[in-house]
Chain A
Amino acid sequence: MISFDIHMKRSEFLLDVAGEFGDGITAVFGSSGAGKSSLLDCLAGSIRPDSGHVQMGETIWYSSLNRVWVTPENRRVGTVYQDGALFPHLDVRSNIEFGWKLIPEHKRHIDPLELADFMGLSNLMSRKPSTLSGGERQRVAIARSIAIMPSLLLLDEPLASIDSPRRGSILNYLKRVHAEFEMPMIYVSHSISEVVSVASNAMMLEAGKVVGFDHPTALLPYVNNSEGIDKFENIFDGVIGPSTDYLTTVEVNGVEIWAGRQRKSMGERVLVSLGANQIILAAQRPANISARNIIEGKVVETWSNLGKVFVEVDAGPKFIVELTETALKDLGILMGCDVFLVFKSSSVGVFDT
């Protein structure tokens, strides 16, 4: 567990945040300039705050009161940067082993080769970073950080420089890394979809202050899309099913979803994305409708703020649906209600994992 209370002033910008993050994946979310990266820098020790404290488990990393300061190289915090920050003069293997080699031999608990295999990098070991794709680079960056068995893994917008279709794949790697190595992770992002998909808790920052700390979906209605923040996308793992001439089905957790025709073979694993604002909720099963997908589910949760409502519907996979307060009232939708999710096959995105 990491706890912090940080105050810092840099010219016009004021960072004033406190919190306690557990061993799961915690997201720090907000628009650019909200102070997300500054918070990470303070936790990693690359910036020294003006006052406050940072404590990892029993170890104090920073305390202005007791004049404690642990330097970044002594904190064992792994950081994955937006662009990977791989060492361009070293090949993939030397990058992964950079920090690992600095650990005394008897304390090395991770085999870099096994780790590379786990991250799907085995056949890239002798390549230079400049020859890798964005996704490959981030996987190397994650492996390089994991190899030092960090007490904390910080991810600073790790998907920002990756094409959106490939983002889900890195998110899956992150979830696997977390399950395998059980280290606390802090995931910084301005994309609420990533946050909901990967994190168990989320802290929302605005102008250097904490404005919310909750389950990620609970923050959905508070997200202001005008500030360069992506609209929410549901992201699911799926398997390609049978196709017709113009449509392809994807099976997601026992539910069949119709998407546009895919050039993929049956049984192939894919990622499915669907915008929360692309789904219509119906109280009864609609008849004679052009939309190809009509899926029955149960309302399990709703969150609302200033007329915006997000409803979570359990239909096997859990869908997040965005609607307005008035629509919710007119439909008479309550928790536990049976509802139908309606959306067009063209709204469904299908991507490689």
Chain B
Amino acid sequence: MMFDIPVIALSLQVAFVATGLTLPVGLIVAWLLVRKDFRGKFFLDIVVSLPLALPPVVVGYVLLWLVGTHGWLGQISQGLFGSTLAFTWFAAVLASSVVSFPLVVRSFTIALAGVDPKLEVAAKGLGAGSLRTFFTVTLPLAQRGVIAGVLLGFVRALSEFGATIIVAGNIPGRTQTVPTAIFTRISSGDTNSAWRLALVSLLLGVIALAVHNWLLNRPRSPNTTGLNRLNNPSS
């Protein structure tokens, strides 16, 4: 039991930081895809979705190359910290971010596309700039879809295995997350503790998906029910 706590804590840490990265980047990319027409949009759409279509191991391999001594991310971090990012907990964050990114962007895209562009035009006409319009009109109206996307990204980040084990490794106490720890325990025949962590994964997944589905399915607001309108027929 005692050995589980640091593993769960690191997993949560990785998932939280990964979600913190994908939220702003995902919002910008989704907004570009939904509201803007530009050259290379088709290409961007494919690149964003690519991690969905690739084996996570391949994503991990590409990331390992990027953060290694020859990749540009590796060179930047070597310049800044004197070492590459490979086999650090932050490499696990990168792996989780990239793998969960398509899911996050997809949810955000659907949420933003559901906002009537006319409302944004109206806000600008009333003097709000693009940023203010986004934060006071677009985002509040897309709120539920955005939160749902964040949750989906969070559970995906928590359960990330393939890319993580390649680029971050499976170092107990340093980069071992719940999924990689389960892998180690199964490999070594430690089924009891493997089952324990599997149950933790199951619990976190069920909770996050339940909240996700509840957010997307509940009625918009109590004010929109027909009953209320019937009670106020005045003009």
Q: Does B121 contact A (CB under 8 A)?
A: yes
Q: Does B20 contact A (CB under 8 A)?
A: no
Q: Does B127 contact A (CB under 8 A)?
A: yes
Q: Does B190 contact A (CB under 8 A)?
A: no
- Specify which chain B residues have a CB less than 8 angstroms from the CB of A166 in the assembled complex: 235
Q: Does A103 contact B (CB under 8 A)?
A: yes
Nearest CB of A to B228, in Å: 5
In the complex, what distance in Å separates the CA atom of A132 from the CA atom of B118?
Answer: 19
Known contacts: A89-B140, A131-B229. The answer to whether A99 contacts B235 by CB under 8 A is no
Known contacts: A85-B119, A87-B137, A88-B141. The answer to whether A131 contacts B232 by CB under 8 A is yes
In the complex, what distance in Å separates the CA atom of A135 from the CA atom of B234?
Answer: 9
Asked if residues B232 and A78 are in contact (CB atoms below 8 Å), the reply is: no
**Neighbour of B126 across the interface among A88, A130, A148, CB < 8 A:** A148
A103 — nearest CB in chain B belongs to which residue? B127
Q: Does A340 contact B (CB under 8 A)?
A: no
**Neighbour of A73 across the interface among B128, B229, B233, CB < 8 A:** B128
Q: B157-170 toward A: CB 8 Å interface, digit per residue (1/0)? A: 00000000000000
Asked if residues B122 and A131 are in contact (CB atoms below 8 Å), the reply is: no
A91 — nearest CB in chain B belongs to which residue? B223
Q: Does A48 contact B (CB under 8 A)?
A: no
Residues of B in contact with A (beta carbons under 8 Å apart): 116, 118-119, 121-129, 132, 136-137, 140-141, 221, 223-224, 228-229, 232-235
In the complex, what distance in Å separates the CA atom of A144 from the CA atom of B141?
Answer: 19
In the complex, what distance in Å separates the CA atom of A314 from the CA atom of B84?
Answer: 90
- Specify which chain B residues have a CB less than 8 angstroms from the CB of A98 in the assembled complex: 123, 126, 128, 136
Q: Does A318 contact B (CB under 8 A)?
A: no
Asked if residues B118 and A85 are in contact (CB atoms below 8 Å), the reply is: yes
Which 6 A/B pairs are nearest by Cβ-Cβ distance? A99-B126, A128-B223, A102-B127, A135-B235, A85-B122, A130-B224
Q: Does A344 contact B (CB under 8 A)?
A: no
Known contacts: A85-B118, A128-B223. The answer to whether A73 contacts B228 by CB under 8 A is no
Q: Does A72 contact B (CB under 8 A)?
A: yes
Within 8 A of B (CB), among A37-83: 44, 46, 71-73, 75-79, 81
A130 — nearest CB in chain B belongs to which residue? B224
Asked if residues A99 and B127 are in contact (CB atoms below 8 Å), the reply is: yes
B122 — nearest CB in chain A belongs to which residue? A85
- Specify which chain B residues have a CB less than 8 angstroms from the CB of A71 in the assembled complex: 124
Interface centre among B132, B223, B224, B235 (most CB of A within 10 A): B235
In the complex, what distance in Å separates the CA atom of A145 from the CA atom of B125?
Answer: 9
Provide 14 A-B residue pairs closer than 8 Å at the C-beta atoms, listed in order of the A residue: A46-B121, A46-B125, A79-B125, A85-B116, A87-B141, A89-B140, A98-B126, A98-B136, A127-B223, A130-B228, A133-B232, A145-B125, A148-B126, A169-B235
In the complex, what distance in Å separates the CA atom of A78 from the CA atom of B121?
Answer: 11
A136 — nearest CB in chain B belongs to which residue? B235
In the complex, what distance in Å separates the CA atom of A46 from the CA atom of B140?
Answer: 22
Within 8 A of B (CB), among A196-214: none
Known contacts: A102-B126, A103-B127, A133-B235. The answer to whether A87 contacts B223 by CB under 8 A is no
**Neighbour of B124 across the interface among A72, A128, A133, A169, CB < 8 A:** A72
Known: A87-B122, A128-B223. 20 other contacts (CB 8 A): A44-B125, A72-B124, A72-B125, A73-B125, A73-B127, A79-B121, A79-B122, A81-B118, A81-B122, A85-B118, A85-B121, A87-B119, A99-B128, A102-B127, A103-B127, A131-B232, A134-B235, A136-B234, A148-B126, A352-B235
A102 — nearest CB in chain B belongs to which residue? B127
